[in-house]
Homo-oligomer: A and B are copies of this chain.
Amino acid sequence: MDKLVKVAIVGAGVSGLKAAETLISSGKIGKEEIVVLEAQDHVGGRIQDSNIDQSKLEIAYALGAMWYHDSLVNSILYELLESGLLKDDDVYCDDKDGPTYTSDGLLDMSGLQINRVMEEAGQFLQLYFKSNRPDASCDEVVKEYVNAHSHFLTQEQNQYIRRAMRYFELWYGVPAEKANGKMAMESHQGRNLLNKKGYTFLIDILKSKIPKSCILLSQPVKSITQLENSSKKIEVETKSGLKVTAEYLIVTVPLSILKLNETHDYGIKWNPPLPSPTRNFINTIDFAALGKVIFEFNSVWWDPNEDHFLIIPDEIDSNDWFNSDGSPKPFSFPALAINFSKIYNRGASLVVLTPAPLTDYLESYPDQSWTYFKPMLEKISIKPMEDPISTITSHWTTNPYIRGSYSVLLTKTDAENTSPDKLEGLKLGNDVIRFAGEHTIAEGAGCVHGAYDSGKREAAYILNELEKK
């Protein structure tokens, strides 16, 4: 059965759903005039809770997005507050200074002033890029900082600063030696508020405002054709053979899908091919793999009063992060263990963040998670350590429709192209084929609110175009 609509949206993550909801709520697009094609059998994209059956503690953990970042300017936060859908205690600020550990045990970040040196290294990163120095990785610039300023660093500061600066990997989801140092120039706009209520309720709200019939699940898109003989018509064909013809199209698939060759099983065939500026942009930005491993225990054997525990890696050459059998060596990557027992005031669980390429390994071999983390988490124990009663991992890298976490800048030779500021203005599409998602917006890139705002933006564009006619 083919469909003829005014607007087709590819992807039912937060950006696609927000675009659909905005169009429908406007009253200017009827429910017969819009369709959302979702590849998976559920909506939400990178917002997903773990199945409660996996948990011995009956907790549904957020496997993807978990915080309201940039809480001073987070549009979702203020919309939910205004509409009374969010109560003050639905969020939790878990930014409290937490203890930091190395393989040698507790590291006195404040007493040794390593926290100050980290701030200074961050300022050095900003100065480096402000003075138009060549593109360099986060780690390369930190190395330069240490070389230039070793006069004023104590032995411990010298010893730990590069390793400590790898905490950035838990933001970017890629190793500091690959992450473009320029990302350190993006400043946070307010604290991070942990979304205790979970993001699925936001997905449910959006879904509830879109007629059921508009969302077609399990419809991965195979090709997108802009019909020549009928200008302003786009034909979207799914793998199951469904053909949707639309006047406007919003493509919200993850950047990882856009990056696939069109002959790839999960790639999209563009006809005519994407214009080269769009193609260039897609090639310039990369896709990270931040992952999560959740361990549940019978009891809390760590300090129950801390929000989180940071474990910084040993000084290990990246060639030696993995054993010859492919398994990762403990203390090869930084880890942030979030104390969910404190946040939810029940149970005994730790949610551990992992960067690529560790995430790729652990998501492929989830049963190896405890082997990797046991010697690391042992450092935080204040009572005899227990083995977990259940382990839940994210599976973003193994999900062929997601293939990682979110967009990231890696080190490139073309400094001009990799500026995060360029994202917003970049016209990925044309006047009828539009793009939305966390990778299409500078303010909130990589975040739920960025995706949300980009969906709103594209819906507003289409409504404005329709108005003109």
Residues of A within 8 A of B (CB): 71-73, 81, 88, 91, 93, 95-97, 110-111, 113, 115-117, 119-120, 123-124, 126-127, 149, 151-152, 187-191, 193
Contact = CB atoms under 8 A, between A and B. Distances in A.
Nearest to A94: B113
Nearest to A116: B95
Contacts of A96: 110-111, 113, 116
A119 B97 CA distance: 13
A123 B188 contact: yes
A341 to B, nearest CB: 18
Contacts of A93: 113, 116, 152
A350 to B, nearest CB: 21
A97 B97 CA distance: 12
9 contacts: A71-B149, A73-B127, A93-B113, A93-B116, A96-B110, A97-B115, A116-B191, A117-B191, A120-B191
Nearest 6 CB-CB pairings of A with B: A95-B116, A97-B110, A88-B151, A120-B191, A120-B190, A96-B113
Query: Copy number in this complex?
Result: 2
Contacts of A149: 71-72, 190
A113 B194 CA distance: 15
Contacts of A120: 71-72, 190-191
A71 B152 CA distance: 9
A295 to B, nearest CB: 26
Contacts of A91: 152
Given A73-B127, A116-B93, A152 B110 contact: no
A230 B65 CA distance: 74
Contacts of A111: 96
A27 to B, nearest CB: 31
A187 B123 contact: yes
Nearest to A151: B88
Contacts of A193: 152
Contacts of A124: 72, 190
A81 B148 CA distance: 12
B127 A72 contact: yes
A433 to B, nearest CB: 32
A187 B88 CA distance: 32
A73 B128 CA distance: 11
Given A88-B151, A96-B116, 16 more contacts: A71-B149, A71-B152, A72-B120, A72-B123, A72-B127, A93-B116, A95-B113, A95-B116, A96-B110, A96-B113, A117-B191, A119-B191, A123-B187, A123-B190, A149-B190, A152-B193
A113 B149 CA distance: 31
A339 B110 CA distance: 17
Contacts of A189: 123, 127
A381 to B, nearest CB: 22
A251 to B, nearest CB: 31
Q: Which of A81, A116, A193 has the most CB of B within 10 A?
A: A116
Residue with the greatest number of chain B CB neighbours at <10 A, chosen from A72, A96, A188, A189: A72
A110 B71 CA distance: 19
A109 to B, nearest CB: 9
Contacts of A116: 93, 95-96, 191
A115 B119 CA distance: 14
A88 B191 contact: no
Contacts of A95: 113, 116
Contacts of A127: 72-73, 189
A270 to B, nearest CB: 38
Contacts of A123: 72, 187-190
A114 to B, nearest CB: 11
Which of A113, A126, A151 has most B Cβ within 10 Å? A151
B190 A81 contact: no
A111 B110 CA distance: 14
Nearest to A157: B93
A93 B152 CA distance: 8
Contacts of A81: 151
A122 to B, nearest CB: 10
